[in-house]
Amino acid sequence: MKPLEGKVALVTGSGRGIGEAIAHKLADAGAKIVVNDLDSGPAADVVRAIQQQGGEALSCAGNVVDTDVCEKLVTTAVDGLGGLDIIVNNAGYTWDNVIQKMDDEQWQAILDVHLKAPFQILRAASEFIRASAKRERAEGREVFRKVVNISSISGLYGNAGQVNYSAAKAGIVGLTRALSKEWGRYRVNVNCVAFGLIETRLAQALGKEKASIRIGSHDIPVGIQAENLALINSIIPLGRAGTPQEAAGAVYLFCIPESNYISGQVITAGGGIRT
């Protein structure tokens, strides 16, 4: 039997990159997956790929900053797949600038996607989780559920040009530790993975053509100057950036039954880097 057989997992931002790798990792372990992405196309592609491998998945596209989308994600899991056992708050992006050039919109947008959205999703899931825990306790069963929030080494140590992102990712650590104390009585393990440099479109080397992502009405530049990327790689003890699959492996550790007595913790998946 697979370790996550019969479990239902909600993974935000799972149409691409790390989120896609997490969705596949959990599906390979037997979980049914709610796939979320800002765009419906990538989400549908991941659903099809999981189904082609014999797994079960549903798409729920939309912006996690929208309260209605957060509630729909939970409903899709509970009504569409029969429950909700694992929540991975992965969706997000960076919108960098030094503080004197950062306006209120840029500041708030990053706090919204990295901190407000996870709060809204967890709040939306709370009634199902509390009711399920009460029923299981009355039946004499101990069932563990998992929340894995995603932070960053920027949230642990700060990073120049990322006051918004660093603040949001530090905030998710606080949310994780507080919720682990609130939800321990419901047998929910709430933990956090802080990523270092991972090979995604947000961390690609910049070429002659500047890359960007479309968020609302904004085209937000992404990528890292090649010389800066080389410098970062040189200070990673393992000597290179991580792959999305390696990042997904760190999340997986907090989802399996072997982590049932681990809660309120933060691990760094960064190849040993400390900045």
Q: How far apart are CA 45 and CA 66, in angstroms?
A: 23
Three-state SS at 211:
strand
How wide is the angle at C-alpha 265 spanned by C-alphas 264 and 268, nearest 5°?
Answer: 150
One digit per residue, pLDDT tens: the chain, 275 residues? 899 999 999 999 999 999 999 999 999 999 999 999 999 999 999 999 999 999 999 999 999 999 999 999 999 999 999 999 999 999 999 999 999 999 999 999 999 999 999 999 999 999 999 999 999 999 999 999 999 999 999 999 999 999 999 999 999 999 999 999 999 999 999 999 999 999 987 777 666 566 778 888 888 877 777 777 788 888 899 999 999 999 999 999 999 999 999 999 999 999 998 87
Distances (CA, A) of 20 to 3, 77, 231, 252: 19, 17, 27, 13
DSSP bridge partners of 267 = 193
Residues 6+ apart with CB under 8 A from 255: 4, 9, 26, 29, 31, 86, 88, 146, 148
Which pLDDT score, from 0 to 100, does residue 226 have? 74
Q: What is the pLDDT of residue 2?
A: 97
- Catalytic site residues? 165
Tell me, what's the pLDDT at 205? 66
CATH of 8-197+243-269, one of 3.40.50.720, 3.40.640.10, 3.40.50.10490, 3.40.50.300: 3.40.50.720
- Domain positions in the chain are 8-197+243-269
48/50 Cα distance (integer angstroms)? 5
Q: Which two tokens stand for residue 249?
A: 């492996």
Q: Which pLDDT score is estimated for 191?
A: 99
